[in-house]
Structure 1
Amino acid sequence: MPVQTSIQLFTLRDELDADLDGTLAAVSARGFSVVEPYDFVHRAEPLAAALAAAGLAAPSGHAFLASESFVNPDGSGTSIPVPAPAEVFAAARTLGMGIVVDPYTEPARWESVAQIEETARLLNAAAEIGEDWGIRVGYHNHAHELEATFDGVTGLEVLAGLLDERVVLEVDLYWVARGGVDPVALLERLGRRVVAVHAKDGTLDPALVDAYPPADQVAAGEGAVPLVEAIAAAPALELAIVEFDHYEGDLLDAVERSRVYLDEKAAR
C-alpha cells in the first residue's frame, strides 16, 4: 500500500480560523489530496463540507482520548473539558476518518510506569469504543515521552508494550530527535505498530529549540531529522504527514516543498 503524504492542519491554524474554505482550497492547490484535522469535533459538519468542496479527504485526525481536559501545545494543562470518546468518533465518522489520534498527554503523566499504564488503559478503552464505529485509535508523541526512560526504555516504548493490538502509533520524527532518540532505530523497534509519522524537519540547533514553539523547523529534507531513513524503517506505514509548529517565511511554500520532497523521496 503506498504511503500517502498528508498535512496536519494545525500547521495552518491561523489561516483556517480566518478563511476555512480558502485555506483548504490552497492546500489542495499545493498538491495535497489528504489532510489531518485537529480540534474537529465541534466543527465536524462545516469542516466536512469544506473538505469536500476542496476535494480533500481526512483519513486521520487529532482529538484527546486519554485526557479529561484540553492540553495546550506546550504541554501545559487546562480545565477545559474534552468531548467524550463516543462524541469524538461520531464527529470522526462525519469526516470519514479511519484513525483518531490522541495528540499527546501532559509531561507530568510520564514520571512513572504506573502513570503510563493508566494512559494505556484509557487508550485501550477508547479503542474498544472506536471499534464499534469502525475507527482505529492512535497516539502521537512530543519529546517528553522519549525523554522519560525506565530501565533504559523510553516512555513511548513502555506505552507501546502496554497497548491493545488495536491501538496504533503516529510517531513525530522531529520530536523524537528533539528527545535525544534516533528516529530510525526507534521505528525499527516499534515495527508494525507505527502506521503514521509526522515527517517534520528541523535544524535541531540548541539555540532555537528551547522555547515553544520551536524556531528551528524547516521544510522536509532541509534539516537534520532523517526523515527518509525513518520512513523506510516503518513497514506498516500508511501516512507521512507534513507539519510545522512554527515557521518564519512563506508557510504555504514550505508546506509544498515538504510535500514534493516526501512524494519524491519517501513514497514506496
Structure 2
Amino acid sequence: MSAPSVQLYSVRDAIDEDVDAAVARLAEIGFTRAEPYAFHLRTADLKRALTAAGVSAPSGHAAVIDAEDASAIFDAAGELGMTTVIDPFIPTDRWQTADDASRIAERVNALSEQAAARGLEFGYHNHQWEFTNKVDGRPIYELFVEQLAPAVVLEVDTFWATVGGADAPAVLRSLGERVRAIHVKDGVIDDAIRNVLPSSESALIVPEALQAAFENQTPAGQGDVDVAAILAAAPQALRVVEFDAYKGDVFQGIAESFAWLAENDTEAAA
C-alpha cells in the first residue's frame, strides 16, 4: 500500500485546540501525509506542525472557486509543499441546471490554468448533491465533468457519491487518471438521506436525517460502502481517510481506518 493521507478536518476540534499536538497524534498512528483544510488561513502554524511531525501535505482543501484572490491560496499551497489544491464545496443550490454545471466548470478551468502557472493542480471534491441533483435524468456531476479541461483533477468523496445514489467504483473507472485522490470513508447508507440536502450556506447545516449520516460514519470496512471495490477501481488515487463526524474517539476511528487500509488495500500504486 502506498502511504495514505488523512483529512485534517476530521480532527478539526483538536486542530483548533492545539494544531501541533493534533498532527503529532496522527503521525503516531502512522500517517506521513495529511490533507489540510482552509490552509491559507493558518499556513505558518500548519507548516510548523507538519514539519515537526515529519508529515507532508500533497493535497489541501480551500474555497478557491469563490475566492476573490485565488493567487494567495495557491501561494500558500506552494509554501506547504502541496501539488494539488481541491475546492471542497459548492452548495447544492448552485448545482441545479445545465447552465450551473457550465458556469462552475468554466471557473474551475480558469483556476486550473492559474494553478498550473505555479506548478500546481486544481480540482473539485464532491458531496452527495452533485449526484442526487439531475438534469434530464443525468447526475449534474456528469455534465460538469464533461466540460472540464484535461488538466483539471478530481477528488472523489466515495461515501457521499454512494449516498447520492452513484455506483462509486463505476464512477471512478469512468473518470480514470483524472481522479487524483479519493476520500476513504464508510458508514450507514440509507435511501432516506439521498435527497436530504444541506443548506445553501454550509454543508454542515443539515436536516436531522443527514446529520445521522455524519454521525453514523464508521472506520473503513465497518459500514455499508464497498470500500474494497472502490480502492480497486482507483489504484492510482491517493487514499485520504476522512470523517465528517464520528460518535466515538475520532482518532481511534482514524487509526482503525489506517489499519484496515494496511491490511486490505492491495491495489494502491506505489
The 1:120/1:20 distance shift into structure 2, 3 A limit, reads same
Structure 1: tracts of 5 or more residues without a match: 68-81
Residue 199 in structure 1 maps to residue 184 in structure 2: yes
> Mean alpha-carbon deviation: is it higher for 187-196 or for 250-259?
187-196
Q: Which amino acid aligns with 2:31?
A: F
**Matching of residues 116-131 of structure 1 within 5 Å:** 116-131=101-116
Letter of the 1:99 counterpart: T
Shift of 1:152: 3.3
1:96-120 C-alpha deviation (Å, 9 max, x unpaired): 0000001020101111011110101
Dislocated runs of 4+, deviation >4 Å: 205-209
- Post-superposition CA distance 1:38-86 (Å, at most 9, x none): 011021122111100011000000011222xxxxxxxxxxxxxx45210
**Alignment correspondent of 1:102:** 87
User: Residues 1-268 of structure 1 correspond to what in structure 2 (within 5 A)?
Assistant: 3-67=2-66, 82=67, 84-205=69-190, 210-212=209-211, 214-237=214-237, 239-267=238-266, 268=268
Residue 202 of structure 2 corresponds to none
Q: CA RMSD in A?
A: 1.6
In structure 2, how many angstroms separate the alpha carbons of the residues matched to 1:114 and 1:247?
36
Deviations 1:157-203 (A, max 9, x none): 21111111111110001101110111111112222221110011002
Matched AA of 1:242: V
1:211 counterpart letter in structure 2 = L
Structure 1 range deviating more: 177-186 or 139-148: 177-186
Query: Contact between 2:59 and 2:86, CA under 8 Å: does it hold in 1?
Result: yes
Instruction: Using structure 2 for the length normalisation, give the TM-score.
Output: 0.89
In 1, Cα distance between equivalents of 2:115 and 2:127: 23
SS at match of 1:211: helix
Deviations 1:113-171 (A, max 9, x none): 11110101111111111011100001000000000122332211211111111111100
For structure 2, the 5+ residue unaligned runs are 194-207
Q: Work out the CA distance in 2 between the residues paired with 1:37 and 1:83.
A: 20
Mapped to 1, the partners of 2:248 and 2:235 lie a distance apart of 34
Deviation, structure 1 residue 226 = 1.0
Amino acid at match of 1:113: A
Q: What's the TM-score, normalizing by structure 1?
A: 0.89
Residues 131 and 161 in structure 2, CA contact (< 8 A), matched pair in contact too? yes
CA distance in 2 between counterparts of 1:207 and 1:158 reads 25
**Which whole-Å CA distance do the structure 1 matches of 2:192 and 2:105 have between them?**
35
Question: Taking structure 1 as reference, are residues 119 and 20 closer, same or farther at Cα in structure 2, changes over 3 Å only?
Answer: same
Q: Which SS does the other structure have where 2:211 is aligned? A: coil
C-alpha spacing 1:47/1:123, structure 2 compared with 1 (3 Å): same
2:215–2:246 contact (8 Å) kept in structure 1: yes
Q: For residues 21 and 148 of structure 1, what CA distance do their matches in structure 2 show?
A: 40
For the 8 Å contact 1:65–1:122, the answer to whether it is kept is: no
Aligned residues: 252
Kept after mapping to 1: 8 A contact 2:163/2:191: no
